[in-house]
Amino acid sequence: MKNVFVLILLLISFSSCDKKTILLPEVQNAKISEVIDVSPAYIFYDITKPDSTDFNRRNLIGTTNWLVNVDKRLTLKQAIPHIQFLEDKRRNAKMHKNENARNYFTCNDTARNNLGFIDFTDVVYSFKIIDSLSEEYSISTVISFSKNLITVNDDLIELKQLSALEGNLTLNFSSSLTFEEYIAYKSSLLKIDSPNITIMNHEFIY
């Protein structure tokens, strides 16, 4: 664990005049353990700010892969607007654009005692809730995640049962979830290895 926090502090020290700490969300055995050609953005937890966030994106380079470091204590309501801003910046870039560049959340991989990464380049976030009766998503299985509670089309389900589902999965996440809780759910979903499941890239925050 010590090596991880040293790495985090070094990243922040080199990228900002102000030395700040950030608590990264924890995962185990992340599928992605190395990303090259990167530049960082930071979403700090700062209770002195109106929304408790301090957003530092000064060191982003448009042609690189972006490592987005989000403090695990922030809620989705606090963090997602900044993430949406970064996604719009990437997608709407006119000059100095690299079509192969990706966006990653940086995590603390406790199993490897190192950093791990979750690719979210193709995820589109919207602040609303979708249910199984919505015409656009009527062919999807709608899964809603809140604190210690998962429902599938309004029926309670356990996390381990998700791999038994089939078809297109549309995801709702409570805006009160911490980023740590969100990443825990995302990490579990990414580990589902089933040819019968397609996880839709449009995620809804309610």
pLDDT tens for each residue of 65-103: 999 999 999 999 999 999 999 999 999 887 778 889 999
The answer, yes or no, to whether residue 34 has pLDDT greater than 80, is yes
User: What mean pLDDT do residues 108-131 have?
Assistant: 95
Give the number of residues written for the chain.
Answer: 206
Determine the residue type at 198.
Answer: T
| Average pLDDT of span 25-47 | 96
pLDDT of 181 over the 50 cut = yes
**Which residues partner with 78 through β-bridges?**
none
Give pLDDT, residue 87. 95
Spacing of C-alpha 36 from chain mean position? 19
Tokens (6 digits) for 108: 């603390």
Quote the CA–CA distance of 202 and 119 in Å, as a whole number.
14
The whole-number pLDDT of residue 18 equals 60
Whether residue 144 is predicted with pLDDT greater than 70 in this model: the reply is: yes
Average pLDDT, stretch 151-170?
92
CB crowding 87-112: b at 16 or more within 10 Å, else e: beebeeeeeeeeeebbbbbbbbbeee
> Cβ distance 54 to 20 under 8 Å?
yes
CA 201 to the chain's CA centroid? 12
Residues forming a β-bridge with 106:
117
Q: Mean pLDDT across the chain, nearest whole number?
A: 89
Name the least confident of 54-63, 110-119, 124-133.
124-133
> Strand pairing of 197-205 and 124-126?
parallel
